[in-house]
A and B are shown apart, each in its own frame.
Chain A
Amino acid sequence: MKADLIDVFMEELGDEVVIHLRGTLGIHQLAAVREKLEMLVSGPGKFWFLDLDRARFTEKEYLELFLDILNLIRKKEATLVLLFSNQENKDFFERYFHVFEIYPSRKAYHQSGIIKQLKQAGVTYRKQTGLRLSPGITLFFLVILVGWFLTLFSMIQKQENEIKEGKALVMELEMQRNESIREIDELRSTIGPLRNLGLVLDSSESFSYGRIRDWIAYLELLEARRRGD
């Protein structure tokens, strides 16, 4: 019976599936190993760790087998990681070192970099219908979004306050202008009879108040003159 030729140990750890192979595996066990591995990888799982640290391969055909398994797993958009640290297996897989992801342990794989972890989180939570995020990543994005909104609101608030201050200044200056016009009119009416008698030379005629458009600038100019600047 093919089934009884090899020791297999499979363990599920959430989305991760760890398969341990042990013993010296030769040509007689090849079919059994292929059958069992293909059977196991057909089930659910996103990360497949194949622990080969205690397995020894005597035939090159096993390389093809692992390539086939890698293809099967990639078709499922999952990841295959081979776990071993012994020199014998390193020599055996030397030709395909760039093809397989090889780590000494599952822990080493998890600690192998932030990009890998992000990829892991991405692959773990991705589904066909869209993007799903892990709780940690969701919280991270939530904090960033809330921060953005708070900054935006504070900027809008600040600008509104500045506009309000500007409007108040304009209104105050408008009032000052009206007051000044009224005072000039009063003065004109006061000196009107004297001017008619020819006692006072009307200097205002030399300056056309009607042509003055920027009253604010003009009044500021007058104020500056008054202060002697």
Chain B
Amino acid sequence: MSLRKCAFVLYAPNRFCGVKSSNLSKLVAEFHSSLKTLLHNEAARLSLFEPGWMLETANDIASKEIHSLKEFVRDQRLEILGGGFHDPMLPLFPVSLQQLQLKKYCTLVEKIFLTEPAGYFNASMVWELGDVDVLAGEGFNYTLVSSAALGDALGKTTRVNGWFTTEYRGSVLHLMAATNDLSTAFATDTESFFTLLNSFPESEKGWVIPLAVPWWDQEQMSLFFEKLNSVFANEEIQTWTCSHLLEQQISEGKVHLMSAVGQDLGLPPGALSCRELLLRRPEIDFLHKSLLAVYRRAFDSLSDDKLTIVENQILSAMSPFYYSDLYGTCGMRLFAVRRSAFYEIIEAEKTVFNLSDFKSQSIEVTDYLMDGKRQIWMNNQDVSLLLANYQGGTLRSLNHRPTGVNWVNALYDDGEKPLGFYDFVLPGSCSEMNTLESVLQDRRGELNAPYDYQIQRTNQSIDVLLSAEQVTNTAEINDIFRIEKKFSLSSSKSQLKVSYRLSHLTLLDFSGFFGTAVDLGMEDTENTQTFSIDGKLYSFKDFPLLLPEVSKLEVKTRFSGAGITFQFKTPARVLISKILGSHHSAEPNLVQGVRLFFFREMKLTPQDEGLFEITCTLSKKRWLT
């Protein structure tokens, strides 16, 4: 029986790190130390990829290990693969940002290991044809793609092995098949691994096996390296680096139009592209569009040197966990990940404004969300908000720059968008808490017709006046209201005033409720935030809560020191309910935010007018109990 040729690719998956930095450094050092020990086994040859931050940390704290690894690189027993600085980099971003990530990583590898990476690695194995010229342009010779995706492109049902050539816009790249089922078998145990390997037809061609190192858990990591050591000790296999396999084998042919959805992104099995993430999760889509908007603004308003500063800052907002529909520290379903994602965007936004001499306020009417409709992006020194006049004049974001918080950052499991100031006209029968909650959850009676807008500027504020006729169905009767909804963003303060003027246009009397809801993103961890309503303190365990007369509602968060206050010109009724999502079980018990519903009773005769005004103040305060 001939020896099986294997090319092991060890990679450290990028994760959202909640652990303390000292612990993180310890884990990184441990990883490199284990790697060094593993390579002391003369039979071991492998390829390695680790995210940029990990390589930087290792260079700082584990210089001895790095020095040893450098020796192995020189002896061609270790190959360092290139990739995105914040791997896995999805092909959702502008080419210039992708190139910058690749350049940044390659420069780091060249600085540390004195070698230029020839192979590109992407932990999620996502692939689109457009990647060819980006990667070839950065000097990469080959990339790893999943053998299953390669098989689909070639129309083969049998296992695909070896490497293929693909070309796009005059650039050529080699695609090397990575056998993911061997990786899965290795994760089970070594026996399964060898059983599967031996079941493959005997061939001179080698197998590329990507293995994720569980670096975040010391125990699992040592088990992993023990297992790998035992595999290397087996005499049935011969290990090589990926580059060596590529050199030793001849091309299997050409492949066109190959695409791979990508793994570990939270996409369902039937998904056709990683872009489905943007359709499935509005939070990811909004983050993506916010990143593009900030980049576009920087591109339009800054000179090249200043643009580079913003580009470098924006790279971290391309981190994979911000674009994964996953729970835990892996994706956007965790509030901490969402908060961190928008913090990155707001910081980049702040840099753009600082560098572009932005002094007071701006307003931009543009297709921010890239959905074919224009939205209104308002900014003053401290606050920015996106107003979707086409979707019932609602807020898609309310960013406070001094704290780096986007308040409209809740998450609905069913894919509904979290919004700010979405309005309802409800019949008088909806006065009970349960009824109201169910109506709001189903968004019945929501006033979501498009509004026309007017921009009004004064010395004190910049105002957007929305006006439209909205039809509602209350108590089996169609009511028509002419609604004027005005957003006034103060020029000098972090204050937004939202005022409504309702004119009743139906020839019958109206008796019911008019109100508006705001979805605030929050997490229910102990003592992270307080709710103060007219001076009285409340916590999550008190919700849902319906209060008949409220003048002032204040929410403060401990993490960022951010606070938001709602004040009403005339006291309003308030319903506070938790926005729950499910995690491990089907039971929705994970708090993703709170929905505040401010409403008041209105009795309007034909042509009568009703008014409602809310002042929303954002602040950065010390934690007060």
Contact = CB atoms under 8 A, between A and B. Distances in A.
Contact of B366 (A1, A9, A11): A9
A37 to B, nearest CB: 11
A39 B364 contact: no
A10 B363 contact: yes
B365 A6 contact: yes
A152 B373 CA distance: 71
Interface string B446-463: 000010111111110000
B374 interface: yes
Closest 9 CB pairs of A and B: A43-B457, A11-B362, A9-B364, A8-B365, A12-B360, A7-B366, A3-B452, A10-B363, A3-B453
Contacts of B361: 11-12
Given A2-B452, A40-B455, A43-B457, A12 B359 contact: yes
A10 B362 contact: yes
B364 A10 contact: yes
B299 interface: no
A7 B459 contact: no
Contacts, number: 60
Interface in A123-154: none
Given A4-B373, A4-B390, A39 B454 contact: yes
Nearest to A54: B300
A6 B364 CA distance: 11
A228 interface: no
Contact of A12 (B362, B364, B366, B456): B362
A44 B457 contact: yes
A13 interface: yes
B414 to A, nearest CB: 29
Contacts of A11: 358, 361-362
Contacts of B458: 43-44
Nearest to B373: A4
A198 interface: no
A74 interface: no
Given A7-B366, A8-B363, 20 more contacts: A1-B450, A1-B452, A3-B365, A3-B454, A6-B365, A7-B365, A7-B374, A8-B364, A9-B364, A9-B365, A10-B363, A11-B358, A11-B362, A12-B361, A13-B357, A13-B358, A13-B359, A36-B365, A44-B457, A44-B459
Contacts of B390: 4
Q: Which of B374, B452, B457 has the most CB of A within 10 A?
A: B457
A191 B367 CA distance: 125
15 contacts: A2-B452, A3-B365, A3-B452, A7-B367, A8-B363, A8-B364, A9-B364, A9-B366, A10-B362, A10-B364, A12-B359, A36-B455, A40-B457, A42-B457, A43-B458
Interface in B359-397: 359-367, 373-374, 389-390
B268 to A, nearest CB: 34
A14 interface: yes
Interface residues of B, number: 24
Nearest to B460: A44
Nearest to A14: B359
Interface residues of A, number: 20
Interface in A1-41: 1-4, 6-14, 36, 39-40
Interface in B337-368: 357-367
B358 A39 contact: no
A22 to B, nearest CB: 8
A39 B456 contact: yes
Contacts of B389: 3
Nearest to B468: A1
Nearest to B453: A3
Contacts of A42: 456-457
Nearest to A4: B374
Nearest to A7: B366
Contacts of B459: 44
Given A4-B373, A4-B390, A7-B366, A13 B457 contact: no
Contacts of A9: 362-366
A10 B455 contact: yes
A11 B361 CA distance: 6
Contacts of A39: 454-456
Contacts of B455: 8, 10, 36, 39-40
A50 to B, nearest CB: 15
Interface string A40-70: 1011110000000000000000000000000
B176 to A, nearest CB: 44
A37 B362 CA distance: 15
Nearest to B364: A9
A36 to B, nearest CB: 7
Interface string B87-127: 00000000000000000000000000000000000000000
A43 B373 CA distance: 26
Contacts of B456: 39, 42-43
A4 to B, nearest CB: 5
Contacts of A4: 373-374, 390
A206 B365 CA distance: 113
A45 B374 CA distance: 26
A2 B450 CA distance: 12
A155 to B, nearest CB: 47
Contact of A13 (B360, B364, B374, B450): B360
A103 B358 CA distance: 21
Contacts of A6: 365
Contacts of A44: 457-459
A36 B452 CA distance: 12
Nearest to B389: A3
A12 B389 CA distance: 22
Contacts of A43: 456-458
Nearest to A8: B365
A181 to B, nearest CB: 86
B103 to A, nearest CB: 29
A3 B80 CA distance: 54
Interface string B546-562: 00000000000000000
Nearest to A11: B362
A14 B360 contact: yes
Contacts of B357: 13
A82 to B, nearest CB: 18
A45 B362 CA distance: 13
B465 to A, nearest CB: 10
A3 B366 CA distance: 11
A25 B503 CA distance: 36
Nearest to B454: A39
Interface in B179-205: none
B354 to A, nearest CB: 14
A8 B453 CA distance: 12
A213 to B, nearest CB: 80
Nearest to B466: A3
Interface string B317-340: 000000000000000000000000
Contacts of B362: 9-12
A6 B362 CA distance: 17
Contacts of A13: 357-360
Contacts of A3: 365, 389, 452-454
Nearest to A16: B359
B243 to A, nearest CB: 46
